[in-house]
Each structure stands twice: as C-alpha cells, then as structure tokens.
Structure 1
Amino acid sequence: MKTLIKNAVAVNEFRKFETDILIENEIIAKIDKNISATDCTVIDAGGKYLFPGAIDDQVHFREPGLTHKATIETESRAAIAGGITSFIEMPNTSPQTTTIEKLEEKFGIAANTSSANYSFMFGGTNDNLEEILRVDPKSCAGLKLFLGSSTGNMLVDDEKVLENIFSNTDLLISAHCEDETTIKHNLEKYKAAYGDDIPIKYHPAIRSEEACYLSSSRAVALAEKTGARLHVFHLSTAKETGLFRNDIPLRKKKITAEVCIHHLWFCDDDYDRKGTFIKWNPAVKTPADRKGLWQALLDDRIDVIATDHAPHTLKEKQNIYTQAPSGGPLVQHAMVAMLEACNKGKISLEKMVEKMSHNPAILFRIKQRGFIREGYFADLVLADLNSPQTVSRDNVLYKCGWSPFEGTTFQSAITHTFVNGNLAYNNGKFSAYRNVKRLEFNR
C-alpha cells in the first residue's frame, strides 16, 4: 500500500504546519511539502487537519461474557470512526482477565475482530499476585486495580495485598480510586431516605469527593513508599488534582493521572436532563470540580485524556438508581468533543493532541505510535473542523445503540482514519480490509 496525503494542516509536537505525508505500507515514509510519488493513492486533504491517531488508555469493550452490551468488533469500529486508532481494554469482563490464559484469549479475539490496534490490562485481585508476576511488561499494557467497586466486582480491599503488589510488580499499575467504606456509608444513608429509587442527583454525594480523595491519596502515598509506577484513572474532583506534579517531564514521572471526556464535559447540573445516562463511577460532580480538572489538564498535573468507554444497554440504564449500572459509550465522540472544546477556546489543538496521542504513547512507552514521525506507524486522522453533525440514535455505532451526547451538535467531523497505513475509515465507510496490531512497549 502506498498513499499520499496532500495539503494537510498537521498538528504534531506542539506546532501546526502545512505538509504532505507519504505512507508506504504501514509506515510514514516522508513528511514534507510538495511530495511527488507515483503508483499511489492520493488524498487531497486541503482544508482538513491531520492528527496522530488517538490512543485511548481506558475502555471496556465487554468481550468476553458481556457481549449483549458490546464487542471488540463493534466498539473498535466506533473508535476508529472517532479517530481513536489504538485502545487499552480493561479486565472486568466475564470471565475476568486475571490469568495469563484469559489475557491471551482476549488478545486472540482482538487479533481476529478489532479494527484498531489493541492491548489489554491484566486484572489484580486479592489473591492472584503469583499470576501478576508472570505478566510480561513488554507485551501487556499494565495492571488494573479496582480500589473501588465497579462492573465486574474486582475490588481489591486488602491493604497487605495492595502493598505486596505495589512492592513486587514492575508493571505500570492503573487504579480506579474510590473508598468503598465511605461509599457504603453514604449509600445506606440515602437508601434509608429513598429506598432503592434514589434520585440520580445524589450520585455524586454517594460516590463523593471524600471517597475519591481518600482512595487516590492512599494510592499515591503507597506508590511513593514502594516506588511503584502508578497511573490514577479518571480523576473526578478538583481536590485530587493537588496530588499530582507538573514540575517534571512526563517521561520522568512515576505517578501520573488521567481525566475522562465526561468529567470535562458534564457536571451535576446535567443529572436532571440526562438522568442515569450520565451515571458513571466516579460520579460527574460540580462545576467547580470540572473547572479544576480543566485547569489541571492544561497545567500538566493531569497527563492524558481518555474515555472510560463503558457501554450498557438502554434497558439496563433505564433502571432505578440502585439497579442502573454506571458507565456509558464515548469512543465515537471523544475527539469531536475535544475539538468542540478547542473551538470554544478551552484548549488548543496542540494541547489536545499532546493529551490524546503523544502522552499516552509516552506514559505507556508504546513503540512507534502517538506521533506523526517518519518511521512511525501511520496511525493518522483527518478532521474537517467545519462540518457540523448532530448526535442521534440513528448515527451512533455502538452496539448499545445510544450516546450521552444525543442531541449535541459538534462543529467538527472525523473524515479519514488510517490504521497502520490502511485507510480503515473513510467518510462513514469502513474498509473491508483490516491491518491492526497488538501494541508493543519499550520497557
């Protein structure tokens, strides 16, 4: 395969510049103005912006075992339609990904069905340290620990086990941080008042700032004590951002943090309108928390933007509070949501690319991805910043068939997505040919 992208405005490594890009087979062969080449497909990108493909470090694609909600095939197609060319998927499937055997089974499913590059987190439990120590850090994204309960009931709540894991593994440890004791106490209080049909507006009071900060601060303290490599998923409070540093380069950080699209977009004012469709763990909280997250993202205390894409069926989400699961689908609209924020002056295009493409590659030490560089894999995205689209159930690609962004009009659209040089998505159409790879890590 040989493709020449002409007249693009590339956004890469903190600058914007007009350029052509020559792709030969899977690799970016040349970046220059006025490239001439023969025997190749030419795409005129005049007026469009070119980004390195986004790397989403936290998704739940529900396979195996929960495929009535989603599959690796369906959600990876939605991901590339949204400009995400690589994903890291979580272990709380059924069965859970807590043995090497189950991990490799998921790699096999992705190799056969995924439309995007892939890796998986290995799941930690209270009793699988021996298996954790068998995981190869060069071929697996890292270790996921649930320090607060979520879909799949993989809570790790034994302090001695936690310290043992932190002290003994070389894997990057990613943590969901919410204090279970605090949450249970809060839930009992609201159940006493309302029964099971608790008004959704109390979700951030149940899964509170205190619950988040207690857990994340303990995790950070444990990482500092043991020297473990810790990455805290989906910060949701302004208070938590004070736990993280911005005075050293990302490559030297041992403790890093992520924020998700929904915590940057929604706040507790939206519960009346969106109900359980914006029920996430951790909860969407106050406008002040949202403002604090934005500030920490822009000043580099928060290192990456992800989705925590976690679909559930419409029927499941329409249950009363205690029966409605937390999570929602986001991969198709993550990049256009951030482009909307760029359009409103909240973040620059260069900063968006840093947080969605460059930094995940640096943080996880992913080989040859996350940047527009000669010799790197051609994971590339073209976007039209003046192509309004309104999200509706007719145009969502998720298997669950809905989006928390329904009714939202975004000013931008993803038009082309290349995965390892293959034009996998082109103006609403998917290539019948897949050329995807298991992510590799420089560790």
Structure 2
Amino acid sequence: MSAYLLKNGQIVNEGTITSGDIRIKNGRIEKIGTSISPEGNEQVIDLGGKHVFPGMIDDQVHFREPGLTHKATIASEARAAVAGGVTSFMEMPNTVPNALTQDLLSDKYHIAHENSLANYSFFMGAANDNLEEVLKTNKNNVCGIKIFMGSSTGNMLVDNTKTLETLFRSSELLIATHCEDESTVRARLELFREKYPTEDAPAFIHPLIRNEEACYLSSSMAIDLAKKSNTRLHILHISTEEELALFETGKAVKDKRITAEACVHHLWFDASSYENLGNQIKCNPAIKDARHRTAIRQALQTGAIDVIATDHAPHTWEEKQQGYWKSPSGLPLVQHPMLMLLEMSLEGVLSLTQIAEKTAHNLAECFQIQDRGYIREGYWADLAIVDLKQSHEVTKSSLQYQCAWSPLEGHTFPHSITHTFVSGHLAYANGQFDLSKKGERLLFNR
C-alpha cells in the first residue's frame, strides 16, 4: 500500500482546527505534527490549507443489492459515497431477499468485500419470526439489529408486541429502529385515498399521512421497551419536533443508552419543497413543516440529536415519476451530505468541528467502532479533504449514482470534496477514482 504525507492541512478533529501534517502508512495514521519531513518513497500531497475531516460514517443507507440492482449496486453507491467524503457505511436489511438469516447477511458482506470502495457494515434484519437467527449475530463484526416499526419491503414489519419485547430484552447488540406507528399511518392513508383517489394526488399530502403522531407514538414505544430492558437503542431519522423531547441532552454519546439520528434531507428541505420537487423528496418518515426542520437543527446543538446520516435510498427516475400513490419513498443523497452540512455551517446551523462530531466522532462512540471516526495516530486513515474556496455544481454528469438523478441537481455548493482516503487508500482525488483497493469491514469494540 502507498504511503502518503499530507502537508499544510487544517485538521478538523475533536473540537479543534489545527494546522498540521499527517503521515499515512500501512493504511493508518502514523504521525500527526506541525512540520513532518518526507521520508522514503511516500507520496507528498500539499493541501495548501484545505481542511481535513475524519471521513463521514453514514449509519443508514440502502444500496439495493442484492435483488434491486436495477436501482443501485453496492459498487455504484459506494463510489458515490466516497466522492462525497463518506468513507464508511452501514447498510439496511430490506434488500431482496431481506437479510433475515445469517447466510443472507453473509452474502451481503461477500458482495461488499469484492466491490465496495468504501468501508462497510450491514445490519441484521428482524422480523416477527426470525428471533433465533437474530440472536446468532456476532456483536464484534456486525453494526446492529434493524427493526422496522413501520411498514417496509417484504417481511420486515415487526408489529408483534411479544416479539418486540423479546428482541429488546435479548439483544446484546445495538438495536436501530425505524419508528412510525403502523395503525396511525394506515388510518390516515385510507382517509387521504378517499380525498385524493386519482394517481395525480399531490406529494404534499405525504407528511399529512405519515404525520407527527405516527412518529411520536412509535418512538415513544421503542424508548419504553428500551428502558424496560436497558437495551442499547438508536432511533433513526428523527423528523418531528415532538420526538425531540424523548431524548437526553447535555450528555456524551458514550454515556447514553438511547441515541438519536437526524438525516440531511430533514435538515435541508421542508414541506414547501414539495411544490417544486414533488415525489423526488417523498420519503419515510416524511419531510414535514419548517418548524420541524428548525427544531431538528437546534437539537444538534443541545445534543438531543447525536449523529447525522443520509438514509440514501435510490429509485429509478421512471419509478419516481409515477403518480403519488405508486411512486416509491426514498431519495439519493450519499454523494453530498458533507457539502450540505458545510453549506449549513455558513448559516450557523453547525460549526466545522460539530460536523466532524456528528458525522464521525459520535458514530464511532455510538456503535463502538474500532479505530475509526477520529484523526488520531494509530487509527485507520479515513479522511475527507475539503476545499472551502472551490465550489461544486451538482450536475447530472457529476452524479455517481446508478439512478443518475438527484433532488439537488442545479444547486451549486460553495465548497468541494477534493480527496477521500479510505483505510489509507487514496480512493478519490480531484474527480478520479482508484478502484485498485476495496474498503474494509468495520469491526466493533463490544
């Protein structure tokens, strides 16, 4: 593996921004200093004052493989992630077939080992009838258990109360939940189908169907179950102001048993965006009124929200162009989360050091990831190099997604990702990929 010396960077790490150099050797950060001299055959890269962030760890993506490869593949979406400074991902089990057995979970790891440019982990899926398989999951090399407490692909809805109680009581792993109360959603779905029976129903009804009550009821239930059994619970994609009151503030992530995630689209868009983007931003849980976006942004400061993810969920353009009732939920985002957050930093939503905290440091603590999430000597060199002075326009030709579209098309970000190191490998540099080395499987200190 090539050795590198990064010179003259602004290192964003653990609450500070410092000028310095970084030596990368054997995939890891060997040395951090103010003036490191080159040695041997290492490649010297003068960053010229560019900012060095720990690579983003995205704890919620849908890369669609196996079974849905007309939408995306692990290879295509991992490339998109790396182009956006995302060096590690955790992928969801609602592929086809659903990852509900250890053999099916193992198949996904094999695909990633052969094809993923980014580091990877995969959630084991829970259903109403696979408890025995779930409890076989290795806590040291699998990120967690995923429970859909709201409808999803195939046999993934877990709505049996006894099953939920047993899962929460028995799991040694982190449990990640999608929380929307199914009975509330179904009742409101019926109501709005009567009101808007034709396929050209407006997309703005989506947050009225999958409303605040549905989210709050389900998140409350998950937290009650977790507290009863002292389960390590992580609630995904918080989308309402009401839910924020359920979470602790002013406490370090490593000291919490219950943590919360926000997604970039709930921080970026609000319900007014349906007018221009329609079903492009249809997702579950829904993007809601502006008050929710404001509250979630504020929760990043209070600590009620611990981490930021994408919930990257691509569909083909043709699928998304169907009428509201047929158009699937989900949007592609994994190529631009860092740029979205960096632009939000100009609005005062987050500081640069808080971006590193919410996209890397806290992920490492939340999931107990081994030797990642920080820029530290001895840690894997997962790094995103950002040029704050170079803009980036989102064009169709710049997209790496297999689906080849984005709701951000036409937007120009004031910053750009110039280089991405994945486990010490320079996987992306100035628009070019080096596919000669694949990412590593994430390991966990549990």
Band the TM-score falls in, shorter-chain normalisation: over 0.9
Distance in 2 separating the partners of 1:246 and 1:393: 40
* Residue 118 of structure 2 corresponds to residue 113 of structure 1: no
Mapping of residues 78-97 of structure 1, within 5 Å: 78-97=80-99
Aligned to 2:190: 188
Distance 2:302 2:190 in 1: 38
Return the letter of the residue paired with 1:254: R
- Local SS of the residue matching 2:396: coil
CA distance in 2, matches of 1:415, 1:336: 11
| C-alpha deviation, 1:196, in angstroms | 4.2
Whole-angstrom distance in 1 between the partners of 2:330 and 2:113: 26
Contact 2:113 2:438 in 1 (8 A): no
Query: 5+ unaligned residues in a row in structure 2: which ranges?
Result: none
List per-residue Cα deviations over 1:249-278 (Å, max 9, x = no partner).
211100000000000000000001000000
Q: Equivalences for 1:69-84 in 2 at 5 Å?
A: 69-84=71-86
How far apart are the structure 2 equivalents of 1:35 and 1:433? 28
What letter corresponds to residue 441 of structure 1 in structure 2?
A: F
CA distance in 2, matches of 1:241, 1:151: 27
Question: Contact (CA 8 Å) 2:298, 2:349: kept in 1 or not?
Answer: no
Give, in whole Å, the separation in 2 of the partners of 1:377 and 1:11: 16
| Distance in 1, Cα, partners of 2:399 & 2:113 | 24
SS at match of 2:75: helix
Residue correspondence of structure 1 range 3-22 to structure 2 within 5 A? 3-22=4-23
Cα pair 1:278 1:284 within 8 Å, conserved: yes
Q: Matches of 1:186 and 1:177 in 2, distance apart?
A: 16
The question of whether the paired residues in 2 share the 8 Å contact of 1:146 and 1:175 is answered with yes
Q: Structure 1 residues 394-403 or 189-198, which shifts more?
A: 189-198
Contact 1:78 / 1:332 at 8 angstroms: preserved in 2?
A: yes
Partner Cα separation in structure 1 for residue 48 and residue 363 of structure 2:
28
The DSSP-based 3-state class of the residue aligned with 1:243 is coil
1:296 match:
299
Contact between 1:150 and 1:281, CA under 8 Å: does it hold in 2? no
**Mean CA deviation greater in 46-55 or 193-202:** 193-202
Answering whether residue 387 of structure 2 is matched by residue 384 of structure 1, we say yes
Q: Distance in 2 between matches of 1:412 and 1:120?
A: 31
Corresponding residue number in structure 2 for 1:367? 370
Q: How far did residue 344 of structure 1 move?
A: 2.3
Please give the alpha-carbon distance, in whole angstroms, between the structure 2 residues aligned to 1:196 and 1:24: 60
Which ranges in structure 1 are unaligned for 5 or more consecutive residues? Answer: none
- Name which of 240, 243, 252 aligns with 1:240: 243
How do 1:28-427 and structure 2 match up within 5 A? Answer: 28-38=29-39, 39-197=41-199, 198-427=201-430
Do the aligned partners of 2:117 and 2:435 also contact (CA within 8 Å) in 1?
A: no
Kindly state the Cα deviation for residue 153 of structure 1 after the two structures are TM-superposed. 4.8
CA shift, 1:37, in A, is: 2.1
- Aligned-pair Cα RMSD in Å: 0.9
1:189 Cα deviation from its structure 2 partner: 0.7
**Which amino acid in the other structure matches residue 288 of structure 1?**
R
- Contact 1:236/1:289 (8 A) holds in 2: yes
SS in structure 1 at match of 2:93:
coil
User: Is contact 1:151-1:325 (8 Å) kept?
Assistant: no
Preserved contact between residue 61 and residue 310 of structure 1 (Cα < 8 Å): yes
Q: Matches of 1:277 and 1:367 in 2, distance apart?
A: 36
Flag the 1:202–1:238 CA change in 2: closer, same or farther, 3 A: same
Shift of 1:72: 0.3
